[in-house]
Amino acid sequence: MPGDGRVARGDATRRVVLRRAVDVASVDGLEGLSLGRLATELELSKSGVFALFGSKEELQLATIDAALEIFRSHVVTPARAVAPGLPRLRAICEKWLDYSAKRVFPGGCFFFNVGAEFDARPGRVHDAVAAASGSFAAFISETAAEAVALGHLDADAEVLAFELHALGRAANADAVLDGGIRPYELARRAIRARLGDPVR
């Protein structure tokens, strides 16, 4: 069909724009995004980019979805492939720290940054960020509860999940601010100690 080529080109352009958008937002925040800026940086037609998203808010929401897909591919999906309980809990923490340390997004963890930007601002963008961040926190909590239920750990699963989440977030924040890897090393040691592993 004659329209198929246009649809395919539109989809390809959308992917290119969103890949750039997640990188920009990880550094400059979701408010730092604009359709005009992305079109200029990518040397695309402004009218074409506007046609793909329609508004800044729609661009922000699509950027959150794209970032979540990337995050899941680096952290959640590989962790789910690991045996349930403690092995999976270890994998979540290791893959999350790896994802942040490798700067999959140049500004560090995308959701840590945009969460701080929108935490006190009600609306659709806030709700999308909260849902994405909440889904990962729930994954940690469910896995911690599973590890306790399987007898892998003797702990308050809810508190343990909160601690692990806090350690990962602190490592990301300190490493992005200071530009070093020491916070990741400390977080790994703290997590290993909390999960009963030998501290190396």
Higher pLDDT, 195 or 48: 195
Mean pLDDT of 79-99: 97
Instruction: Determine the distance from the C-alpha atom of residue 66 to the mean position of all C-alpha atoms in its chain, rounded to a whole number.
Output: 10
pLDDT > 90 in the chain, percent: 72
The pair of structure tokens assigned to 56 is: 């800044």
The pair of structure tokens assigned to 144 is: 């911690």
**C-alpha–C-alpha distance, residues 10 and 48, integer Å:** 9
57 touches 68 (CB < 8 A): no
pLDDT at 193 over 70: yes
| Single-letter code of the amino acid located at 79 | A
Mean pLDDT of 44-70: 91
Query: Quick one: pLDDT at residue 70?
Result: 95
The beta-strand segments (E) located in the chain are: none
Determine the straight-line distance between the first and last CA of the chain, rounded to whole angstroms. Answer: 60
Tell me which residue of 132, 79, 141 sits closest to 110, measured CA to CA. 132
Spell out the domain ranges in the chain.
55-194
Q: Which of 2-11, 40-49, 116-125 has the lowest mean pLDDT?
A: 2-11
Query: Quick one: pLDDT at residue 93?
Result: 97
Tell me which residue of 20, 191, 175 sits closest to 100, measured CA to CA. 175
Give the homologous superfamily in CATH for domain 55-194.
Tetracycline Repressor, domain 2 (1.10.357.10)
Higher pLDDT, 167 or 45: 167
Backbone torsion region of residue 70, taken as left when φ is above 0, otherwise alpha when ψ lies between -120 and 50, otherwise beta: alpha
Mean pLDDT of 41-68: 91
Residues 117-172 have pLDDT tens digits of 998 899 999 999 999 999 999 999 999 999 999 999 999 999 999 999 999 999 99
Mean pLDDT of 17-35: 92
The pair of structure tokens assigned to 176 is: 């992005």
Confidence of residue 4 (pLDDT cuts 50, 70, 90): low
Mean pLDDT of 7-34: 88
Residue in the structure block whose two tokens are 């359709």: 35
pLDDT at 199 over 60: no
Radius of gyration of the chain (CA): 19
SS3 of residue 150 by DSSP: coil
pLDDT at 50 over 70: yes
Backbone torsion region of residue 103, taken as left when φ is above 0, otherwise alpha when ψ lies between -120 and 50, otherwise beta: left
